[in-house]
Amino acid sequence: MTRFPPLSSETLAGLRHLLGETGVLTDSVSLGAYGVDETEEVDFRPAAVALPETTEQVAAVLQLAAQTGIPVTPRGGGTGLSGGALPVFGGLSLSLERLNRIRFLDQTNLMIEVEAGLITGDLKRAVEEKGLFYPPDPASHDSCQIGGNIAEDAAGPRSCKYGTTRNWVLGLEAVLPDGTVIRTGGATRKNVAGYNLTQLLVGSEGTLAVVTAALLKLINLPRFRLTLAAPFSTLQGAAQAVSRLFVAGVDPASCELMEARALDLVSSLTAIPEQLVDAAALLLLELDGDDDQALLERAARASEVFDTLEEVEVIVAQEAGDQRRLWEIREKIAIAVREYSVYKEADTVVPRSELANLVEKARQVASDRQLEAVCYGHAGDGNLHVNLLRGDLDEATWKENRDAAEAELFDWVAGVGGSVTGEHGIGWSQRRYLPLVAQPAAMKVMRGLKAAFDPRGILNPGKIFTDR
């Protein structure tokens, strides 16, 4: 494992000189807060937290780190689910929270340039006020930051129709580990000049450069939305319906699946309508567009698809309030699971046709080891969050069984052409699974890229690869 020098009092004084007294935190409450994110059961404290306000300050911090060999871990809103923002070797937590401005909104070219620390929900609301739409909608949109979304290539329900964060990034401003500021991409819809550094940095989990600003693409806000809730009496039926919806051209903006146990857990936090409580599985769809009649026709087509499998009494919500109530069911599941039990989440993604088998496999790997599996997520993308619950197991048995269940599940997922994370990233907690989906030759190219960007290995060490 890599060893790094401790943060000396000279380096700390240098940091204070660059960022001012309030730009560097070393009190234990702050170090504790910046030592965790939303990932289960992990905690790594930094030696100090740096809070730059400008790109120049980010560059100066990285220059100082490069000179002294101090590791730097970039951090957004701290909502990550694979430990990507955790300073596993100590050193500096470099929080982008104070770079949170909208630099410009270009309503002629439908683009916006924002700084990395802007809260994603604030970005979404700012453009929606102008009748524009930035579709990516991670569950944590009110606390996550756009820079973190870019680092992780975050997604959410609407990636089903609109793709993940990367589909909306036209260009980046970023700081390399030696403190050099680079700009990639630009304000054109097409751009094939040279290597696509923009898309290399998206999803690189803060291991190659620190993103400080992004130029994002916008579209017009769809004028109408419909929410459909389809309760199925079998999980197999719901899972099979998913791929059929796309073949039939229903084109949902979102297509989410929740199994009965997820509904059961979330019922302690939000009301479940009478027609849905006994479902073995629930599909929640959003349809959007500019023609309300066409939306109703697509909703009818969805019902026809369901009827090829079983008779389903679909709830169609047209009013915003009714839609919100249905979406709350889905949005609160993660909180409900967290409140119920210690758990470990496997962010599985498979071809849509394998969804039913995925849930079966999740149940089997869990029950073989006295665990409970709760499956829910972005079925339209084949992306299910499989939550393995500890229940009453003692600590040692839980850890052993959890790891074995997860390993068997991911082996199976890789075998059916799936992947070991759909949207939460490899980060720290999933590193051992990356070789299941990246062959040795691909791993070698990835390591070469890391070395080219960060020869001293000071930027977000310990992430993605197991041996750094």
Cα torsion 8, 14, 16, 19: sign: negative
Nearer to ligand 2HG, 205 or 345 (CB): 345
Residue nearer to ligand 2HG on the CB measure, 117 or 377: 377
Instruction: Compose the 207-236 pattern: x for residues touching ligand 2HG by CB under 6 A, - for all others.
Output: ------------------------------
Angle between helices 320-331 and 333-340 (to 10 degrees): 30
CB of 285 to ligand 2HG, least distance (A): 15
Among 113, 152, 288, 345, binds ligand 2HG (CB under 6 A): 345
114 vs 340: CA distance, rounded Å: 38
Q: Give 11 or 383: the residue with its C-beta nearer to ligand 2HG.
A: 383
Q: Strand, coil or helix: what is 220?
A: strand
Closest CB 132 distance from ligand 2HG, rounded Å: 24
Cβ at position 45, least distance to ligand 2HG in Å:
23
Q: How far is the CB of 377 from ligand 2HG (least distance, A)?
A: 6
Who's near 220: CB < 8 A, 6+ residues apart? 110, 131, 132, 133
Cα 201 from Cα 198, distance rounded (Å): 5
Cβ distance to ligand 2HG smaller for residue 309 or 342: 342
In the complex, the smallest distance separating the C-beta of residue 144 from ligand 2HG, rounded to whole angstroms, is 10
Are 266 and 332 within 8 A, CB to CB? yes
Contact between 334 and ligand 2HG (CB under 6 A)?
yes
Selected from 76, 171, 377, 457, the binder of ligand 2HG by CB under 6 A is 377
Q: Which residue's CB is nearer to ligand 2HG, number 113 or number 345?
A: 345
- Rounded to 5 degrees, φ, ψ at 309 are -105, -45
> Residue 222 — φ and ψ, nearest 5°?
-60, 140
- Site membership for ligand 2HG, residue 81 (CB under 6 A): yes
Under rule CB under 6 A, which residues in 384-423 are in contact with ligand 2HG? Answer: 385
Nearer to ligand 2HG, 333 or 459 (CB): 333
Of 19 and 139, nearer to ligand 2HG (C-beta) is 139
The distance between the two most distant Cα atoms of the chain, rounded to a whole number of Å, is 71
Q: What is the DSSP letter of 335?
A: H
Q: Three-state DSSP class for 21?
A: helix
> What residues are paired with 259 via a beta bridge?
281
In the DSSP assignment, the letter for residue 377 is E
Q: Give the binding site for ligand 2HG (CB under 6 A).
A: 81, 139, 334, 345, 377, 385
